[in-house]
Structure 1
Amino acid sequence: MRRRSWPPAPPGEPPSTALLRTVLVPLTTCGAHSEKALPLVRLILRTPALHARFLERQAQWREGLSTELARRLGLDPAADLYPHLAAGMALTAFDTVLWRWSESEAGDDPAELAEQAFAVIGTSLDTVG
């Protein structure tokens, strides 16, 4: 997984929306190319060495997300818990979606799964402070 950048944010965009839009980038790509992406995701998630590397990259993504989220909200990423927790929640949702998608026989749409996941966690993500 390469380093992710955030899509430009409209003024006043809630954190849940910004985080969802960010994780939708790779998930939409996966869904659009599911014939190739789904077997690859299954391989990565089920191969311990590949999954470990994936988690390392995800940790780097988490740091970038928390730093950017802190910047957008005017928080200190070294002092405030919220940016790290919110980034972690978003990436837990991302990971849950990948696992659910990889286990689905019909090859559910990962973008739709992400929207369902963020419907569950959105209120918590938008409670800053």
Structure 2
Amino acid sequence: MSESARAANQAARKRPGLRERVRATVQAEVVEVAHRLFTEQGFDRTTVDQIAAEVGLSRASLFRYFGTKEDIVLGRLEETGHQIAAELAARPDDEQPWDALRRAFDALTRINEAAPPEQVLSYLRMLQETPSLRARHHEKQLGWQKLLVPEVARRLGADPDRPEDTRPSALAAAALACLDAASTAWVACEGTVPLAVLLDRAMGALAK
């Protein structure tokens, strides 16, 4: 296991303090209420004031937990990015970078498989149909790319002091593009084909 994988495992074992656990509980309640309202009314027609009122928070208090309305939908993506990066770092050192990236995305497919399919489909439809969410989602995925690039570079034996070596960034960006293509196809086929299968097809096309 690489040094980065060991560091990720140590971080995962560290138990959060009481304040962090309370914050996480409130955030989870806000997300649950907001997603219900978004599903019932649509993202654009749901106001922050409505969400805050249902949870029992003031508008100002809600914004202490989430910077924007979009972050209520996408706030968990930062944690997901760290999970994918940890999964990548834990892959065998002799595994090809592209194969390791594919297996790292298992962290995401497992999350989706653990939730009711219609709930995940509704979430992804909302992302695809709401311009402000699409833009914010793209920003979050750029953050994922930054997390993945160092480990891809290590596997390639790339020199981090040579920014002209575009291979690590290209591989990470291409893998995330395949993930987006698979997610779009999964929504289009109403989840009849597993996301993991669609992701295999997308990434397999670039491996040939």
Q: Does the Cα contact within 8 Å between 1:62 and 1:84 map onto a contact in 2?
A: yes
Give the deviation of 1:62 after TM superposition. Answer: 1.0
Q: Does the Cα contact within 8 Å between 1:28 and 1:110 map onto a contact in 2?
A: no
User: Structure 2-normalised TM-score?
Assistant: 0.55
Aligned-residue RMSD, C-alpha = 1.6
Structure 1 pair 80–40 and aligned structure 2 pair: CA distance change class (3 A): same
Of structures 1 and 2, the one with the larger relative CO (CA 8 A, separation 6+) is 1
Per the alignment, in what secondary structure is the counterpart of residue 105 of structure 2?
Answer: helix
Q: Distance in 2 between matches of 1:19 and 1:106?
A: 23
Q: Distance in 2 between matches of 1:121 and 1:10?
A: 21
User: Residue 72 of structure 1 aligns with which residue?
Assistant: 155
User: Residue 97 of structure 1 aligns with which residue?
Assistant: 182
Q: Distance in 2 between matches of 1:66 and 1:101?
A: 26
The answer to whether 1:119 aligns with 2:204 is yes
User: Residue 100 of structure 2 aligns with which residue?
Assistant: 18
Per the alignment, in what secondary structure is the counterpart of residue 86 of structure 2?
Answer: coil
Give the deviation of 1:39 after TM superposition. Answer: 0.6
The answer to whether 1:27 aligns with 2:109 is yes
Q: Distance in 1 between matches of 2:182 and 2:151?
A: 23
The answer to whether 1:81 aligns with 2:161 is no
Q: Does the Cα contact within 8 Å between 2:121 and 2:191 map onto a contact in 1?
A: no
User: Of 47, 50, 60, which residue of structure 1 is paired with 2:130?
Assistant: 47
User: Residue 45 of structure 2 aligns with which residue?
Assistant: none
Q: Distance in 2 between matches of 1:55 and 1:32?
A: 24
Q: Which moved more, 1:54-63 or 1:18-27?
A: 18-27
Give the deviation of 1:106 after TM superposition. Answer: 4.7
Give the deviation of 1:103 after TM superposition. Answer: 1.1
Per the alignment, in what secondary structure is the counterpart of residue 30 of structure 1?
Answer: helix
Q: Does the Cα contact within 8 Å between 1:30 and 1:38 map onto a contact in 2?
A: no
User: Of 75, 81, 86, which residue of structure 2 is paired with 1:6?
Assistant: 86
Q: Distance in 2 between matches of 1:74 and 1:43?
A: 40
Q: Distance in 1 between matches of 2:128 and 2:108?
A: 16
Q: Distance in 2 between matches of 1:108 and 1:29?
A: 16
Unmatched runs of 5 consecutive residues or more in structure 2:
1-76
Give the deviation of 1:67 after TM superposition. Answer: 1.8
User: Structure 1-normalised TM-score?
Assistant: 0.85
